Chains A and B, each alone.
Chain A
Amino acid sequence: MSHQVHNLELFRGLIKFKNITQKIWGVLILLSIVTLVEVALGIFKPEILLLYFLNMKILNWIFISLTIVKAYYITWDFMHMRDETKTLRRVVVWTFVFLVLYLVFILVQEAGYIFDQGNIDYIKKDF
């Protein structure tokens, strides 16, 4: 317990840290940069990113991807998932990913359907 082995690499070995403390600060800087990019995009909303891709603005796809990037580093480095066995990682992450993908697919799909139904002419909403 007392001397756990830590993987001190980020980006598949592109950045190597000397000790765990240094790596944590590295991850903090990374997460802060990602958050700053998100906030900047959210405030300025570049025109080109407001185009639609797969029924959603490109900007929103970027936000969701960046969030998953942040979630990855929080889980892998703050929660030390990187240092756990491969099986534990898979048991936790895959279970979650499969269930959530299914849930999101089914709800968003249904919402689209109900949205279409709600816009039938004879249903009056504007009063």
Chain B
Amino acid sequence: MSSAVSVSSKETTWGGGNKPLRTSYGKAMMWFFLLSDGLSFSGFLAAYGFARFRFLDSWPKADEVFTHVPFLHGQELPMIYVAFMTFVLIMSSVTMVLAVDAGHQMKQSKVAFYMLLTIFGGLIFVGSQAWEWSTFINGDYGAVKTKGGNILQFIDSHSHHRVALDDFAHKHHSDRIQHEETNGLWFYDEGTLPTYSIEEVIEGMEASPNILIRTQILDETGEKTILSREESLNTLRANGKSIVTGANLIENEYGMPLFADFFFFITGFHGFHVFSGVIINIIIFFNVILGTYEKRGHYEMVEKVGLYWHFVDLVWVFVFTFFYLV
């Protein structure tokens, strides 16, 4: 019997207290989770890529959609605000690393301070994202949807800038009353009535000769097709069906509804990650304040939460590229 050998190997390898790959159990599981979560996000972004290549000749251009910066109303500044959001998230990643590092040095108050900064960074980011969503949902110029579901946008014939429906549509006092569920035979109502009817837009367009229509079809140079004055009027009269302002899951004044769907789904899923990250950070922050990790003798929990927080930053870097840049 060679019991001596097997006993000693039992003690070293299977005796417990081992850390495979020199990683603690919790950290290994965090990596495991992040890997699978990363694959989920990759799936979403790859699906976005699919939709985009499938509609390569009519996909909306992000720098025409996201042009707003808070407090700078009416100016078109594509990318500036998203770049700011990216910077905020990277900055909060930095404070997170500093918190982890302070944890290695067992400096309780320093960890708490950096955790707090990280939480603030996360809140600014989530708030910015909410603002971005609300500007996208409200829209700015309004457009017309055709019978085939295409979007017709109105532009000025000289500057080629988009023109808001408010600027040219003729508003009548129509007798059309919103149908509410109390009035009908059965308990259903209709959605909010649009500000203008299609007839009012056609009339307004006929009265203002400097307005042209831009379709979603991209020409060889990658620009959207602009119709001549005559074609514009004909298309609008023949195909115009309803008014679209802003974006939701069904309609999108900037073009493809699918663009809005992916935007809401992917940035929403990412925003939910940031939000839950903030909540987890707050819990850990209070644990730090209460001295939980001081008693435990190490700040590994801060490190694990840090991994999650950096992952959120990592995903945003990709969302930023594929939604705003490419």
Contact = CB atoms under 8 A, between A and B. Distances in A.
B10 to A, nearest CB: 23
Interface of chain B: mostly helix, strand, loop or mixed: helix
B15 interface: no
Given A35-B86, A126-B150, A103 B42 contact: yes
A70 B34 CA distance: 17
Interface string B130-169: 0000000000000000111010000000000000000000
Interface in A34-81: 35-36, 38-39, 42-43, 50, 60, 63-64, 66-67, 70-71, 74-75, 77-80
A60 B298 contact: no
Interface in A10-31: 20-21, 24-25, 27-28, 31
B231 to A, nearest CB: 12
A106 B7 CA distance: 51
A71 B314 contact: yes
A46 B44 CA distance: 30
A75 B314 contact: yes
A66 B217 CA distance: 29
Given A24-B94, A60-B326, A111-B52, A127 B317 contact: no
Given A107-B50, A112-B53, A125-B150, A79 B311 contact: yes
Nearest to A79: B310
Contacts of B320: 67
A114 B54 CA distance: 6
Interface residues of A, number: 57
Given A20-B101, A28-B91, A111 B63 contact: no
A104 interface: yes
Interface in A86-127: 87-88, 91-92, 95-96, 99-100, 103-104, 107-108, 110-112, 114-115, 118-119, 124-127
A127 B148 CA distance: 5
Nearest to A102: B46
B176 interface: no
Contacts of A114: 54
B79 A43 contact: yes
Contact of B78 (A27, A43, A111): A43
Contact of A115 (B35, B56, B87, B106): B56
A4 B298 CA distance: 12
A37 to B, nearest CB: 11
A1 B298 contact: yes
B83 interface: yes
A79 B29 CA distance: 14
Contacts of B39: 96, 99-100
Interface of A: 1-4, 20-21, 24-25, 27-28, 31-32, 35-36, 38-39, 42-43, 50, 60, 63-64, 66-67, 70-71, 74-75, 77-80, 84-85, 87-88, 91-92, 95-96, 99-100, 103-104, 107-108, 110-112, 114-115, 118-119, 124-127
9 contacts: A24-B101, A25-B94, A31-B90, A79-B307, A80-B100, A88-B31, A92-B34, A111-B49, A115-B55
